[in-house]
Amino acid sequence: MSSSPILEAVGVHKTYHLGQTSVPALRGVDLVVARGDFVVVVGPSGSGKTTLFNLLGTLDEPDAGRIVFDGTPLASLRESERARLRRRQFGFVFQSFNLVPVLSARENVEYPLWIDGVPAADRARRVAQALESVGLGHRMEHRPDHLSGGERQRVSLARALVHDPVVVLADEPTANLDSKTGRAIVDLLARLSVERGTTFLLATHDPAIVEHAQRTVQLSDGQITADVRR
């Protein structure tokens, strides 16, 4: 599925300073992501995948270049505007799930709607749908420490999707899962991508994910070395 670009990175540079050392994480990255794309970013550790995702997801700012979301340059947004963008337009799936331990599965999924001020009745309906869509309707009231790794990642995925984001950024979503569970998650991601038309960007080492990718972007030493669309 290709359409107008939803995310654009133009000449993006990012360097991290660790004490006296400077580490260039991205060195002139250009990337255009179309609405509805299922993009997999591959590359070894330290290639800059996480950095790229942080920049695309408005979690950080480039040192040079620009990033544009749906025609709006991110650099022009204030902190609060970026936060609102993340609440409404972005979903995040983390490698370590990053669920709030004191909230149940339902409450974790509900969280993005709650902070956006969505009415309670509406929240309840959408949360139930989101959890059903990831196959966790029966475990809604359990806290994360009572869920398996796969279940936690499903909750994380439901949380990332509950507010109908335009873009979901998943950084190594299967890294902490066994292969069977990981495949199940990947299948789920692919299905949801098709069903919802949501733009997915996944960073991964996992070959199972690469299989499903419409487009694979190779990142090495902070630069895109390949960008293959099937």
Partner 1 sequence: MKLAAIALRNLARNRRRTVLSLLVIASGTAALLLTAGFVRFSFSGLEDAIIRGGLGHFEVVLEDEAALASTQRAALPRLADWQAVRAAIEAAPQVRAAGGVIQLSGVVGLGDRSSAFLALAVEPDRERRMGFDVKLREGEDLPGEPPAEGADRVLLGLGLARAIGARAGDAVTLMVVTPDGMLNAVDMTVCGLFTSGLQDLDLRLIKLHLASAQRLAETEGVSSIVVGLADGAALEPARAELLRRLSGRNPRLALLDWRSRAPFYGQVRSLYSGIFWFLGGIVFLLVCLSNSSALLMAMMERVREIGTLLALGTSRAGIGALFLSEALWLGLLGALAGDALGLALARVLNALRIEMPPPPGAVSGFPLQLELAPQDFLLATCLMLAVMAVSALLPILRATRLRIVDALGHV
Please give the residue ranges that form the binding site for partner 1 (CB under 8 A).
54, 57, 59-60, 79-80, 83-88, 90, 92, 94, 98, 100-103, 107, 110-112, 114-116, 159
Distance separating alpha carbons of residues 168 and 149, to the nearest angstrom? 20
For partner 1, which is the closer residue by CB, 36 or 112?
112
Min separation Cβ 93 and partner 1, Å: 11
For partner 1, which is the closer residue by CB, 49 or 86?
86
Min separation Cβ 102 and partner 1, Å: 4
Strand residue runs (E) in the chain: 5-18, 21-34, 38-42, 64-69, 72-73, 90-93, 167-171, 199-204, 215-220, 223-229
**Which H or E element spans position 83?**
helix 79-89
For partner 1, which is the closer residue by CB, 16 or 229?
16
Token duo for residue 58: 């408005």
Min separation Cβ 120 and partner 1, Å: 8
For partner 1, which is the closer residue by CB, 107 or 151?
107
For partner 1, which is the closer residue by CB, 2 or 98?
98
Give CA angle at 154 (148, 158), nearest 5°. 145
Give CA angle at 97 (142, 100), nearest 5°. 50
Sequence-ordered list of residues with C-beta below 8 angstroms from that of 59, at least 6 positions apart, any chain? 53, 86
Min separation Cβ 116 and partner 1, Å: 7
Min separation Cβ 59 and partner 1, Å: 5
